[in-house]
Chain A
């Protein structure tokens, strides 16, 4: 089975417990205003715009497909900026067996693997295939980094084979969620509740965006909900950073630190050690 991958980071300390290989899948079902990796959102439409801006000849069209020559690429990322479709000429197709081999070759260095994106669960069957093969041959754990907008059928498949979810909640208020992401959060909260009742909801991530989702009462509400749902899921409060944002909110300032600390203190009262502070 084949999967579409934007890139693989062999050594990541920030995508779950321990040292992990992070696999960023191509394609997303949201379009967040502050997306930090907009080039992972959509599949290539072969419009050829990226060819026009590439100065080193690393890109070409062969048989109607964009070909990317890694050796010629200098990493200037002009192709990503020039892409009108929130995609990338650099993502690639990989056979699950090939990915499994790369993972198992480095097994001794790893605690596990993490699928991220884009929205990795759009390629659930590929993930399940890889995870089953990896688990058959190693004791590595598999984590899913998701926006929570998952089809019921896919969620069930994943629950049956992975070890943890890192689950984004973009906003508690549905209108704000729609504004920030383009979709309703109804399914997301439904999935959050399902996962919270398993042992797999490793953490919930909440990016604080000034003027959008930083209403303290709403974040308190989310914290109360997590407290009620189970006794283990961590809540990671992440201050917005403009770094990497190329679209609507690219000119927004980093989230105010004083405000962040106040929110953290309030949430700490509810969740104690379960709330995680980020720089």
Chain B
């Protein structure tokens, strides 16, 4: 859209227009410096920067250390350390307005159960519930974007349970919620309650706490869709590689592994490093952000993300095999991912101190304009095998990713009557190596698109041409059309 088209569009509201106009302004600059080879890969669509803009001036994802903020207050914001639940909730609502991201809204709003638990006893139970409800409604109304992500768990707390109870009652797409789940730390009762809520409203996700803790340490958060990053850090950028398109360039499988992959992954890292460098050295983000000045973020916790998608089509094109239906296909999948990871790890990641100096590896879950190409390392929608085979296949592929990978499993509504059975499957998935397990039921009012939720009724409104508060509804509606989101295999129970 050009500037006039943005201004005169009746399908988007004022805030979204302002966001798009800022993007248009940024894009009047030339793109960060790239080699000719890499520019060619971007033009061809083998690489895609997800419309991050030509001259990035803030990291894509930021995960401020809200616990530290609550403990110390903020000089910049003129906020004293909160003494009770009222002050804590107020402080949080204020700082959210000051957290930059690619979407303009904070993609991480913190480990809210643990943060609020410290204040729960400063007020009566009724007041605590009202205050949490107020905070959740405030987040939904002032940050109307389904990439706004809250974390809870792994331990059960009074505040955590209240959050789920209230979310269940509110039934809103925003915020996204992840439960850090661990068989050792999460009480069975809380896990069952969370699964019950997830079957009703599509959230929380079940995050494999043990696996991710082993990679990033205890101090990690889940942001935006399902990006796992260090708290007090974030990711400068996410650029993705379309494995289907890359496969189309290859003469055969061998050519793909030996020549095409090393070449395009090298370009992928080049774009990422150029963008990260621009944020740090040209936009001087860390020198200008109060979050950095007050120690709420630290460059040492940051990284960048190299995303891939379309593994399913890539394998199908090069070998004729179908992922999820053929063990050989999984072996090819492992070999491809191993190769990509190896190339990434041979290159220094600019400013990627949060992941040992290497760029993080991420299974990107697709965007609304992707057509005929499957998200991340998932199995094509509609072609999923039995849930056990799907989990076993994907479990083998999830192990390569350190900054985010997930899949969505749709159950028939009878699952609601047998939460023990659902937990059994989640536990088996965690043991199989699934890092983030999203569940939903086929008749849910909230639809999980790729890693975020939209309301069925809002999609219908969008399709009728009404302007909506949440920009993610637009993405969701387009995605449903283009990606056959609603055709995901239902785990039907007869």
Contacts and interface: CB of A to CB of B under 8 A. Distances in A.
Interface of A: 9-14, 17-20, 105-106, 108-111
A105 B414 CA distance: 24
B418 A13 contact: yes
Contact of A108 (B387, B420, B431): B431
A108 B421 CA distance: 12
The residue in A10, A13, A14, A108 that gathers the most chain B C-beta atoms within 10 A of its C-beta is: A13
A9 B388 contact: no
B135 to A, nearest CB: 35
B418 A11 contact: no
Contacts of B184: none
Contacts of B418: 13-14, 17-19
A205 to B, nearest CB: 14
Given A10-B386, A10-B387, A18-B418, A110 B424 contact: yes
A101 to B, nearest CB: 13
Interface string B382-393: 000011100100
Interface in B375-426: 386-388, 391, 411-412, 414-415, 417-418, 420-422, 424-425
A11 B425 CA distance: 9
Given A10-B387, A11-B388, A17 B491 contact: no
Contacts of A14: 414, 417-418, 493
Which label, helix, strand, loop or mixed, suits the secondary structure of the B interface?
helix
Contacts of A17: 418, 420-421
Given A11-B493, A18-B424, A19-B418, 9 more contacts: A11-B491, A12-B493, A12-B494, A13-B414, A18-B418, A18-B421, A19-B420, A19-B421, A108-B431
Interface string B466-494: 00000000000000000000000001011
A120 to B, nearest CB: 16
B260 to A, nearest CB: 34
Contacts of A11: 386-388, 425, 491, 493
A79 to B, nearest CB: 18
Contacts, number: 55
A109 B425 contact: yes
For chain B, the bracket of interface size reads: 20 to 34
B432 interface: yes
Interface in B119-144: none
B428 interface: yes
25 contacts: A10-B387, A11-B425, A11-B493, A12-B493, A13-B412, A13-B414, A13-B418, A13-B421, A14-B414, A14-B417, A14-B493, A17-B418, A18-B418, A18-B420, A19-B420, A19-B421, A19-B422, A105-B388, A108-B431, A108-B432, A109-B387, A109-B391, A109-B424, A111-B420, A111-B424
List of 10 A-B pairs having minimum Cβ-Cβ separation, nearest first: A19-B421, A13-B418, A109-B428, A108-B428, A19-B424, A13-B421, A106-B388, A18-B421, A18-B420, A10-B386
Contact of B493 (A13, A106, A109, A111): A13
Contacts of B386: 10-11
Nearest to B429: A109
Contacts of B391: 109
Interface in B418-455: 418, 420-422, 424-425, 428, 431-432
Nearest to B421: A19
Nearest to A106: B388
Contacts of B388: 10-11, 105-106, 109
Contacts of A12: 493-494
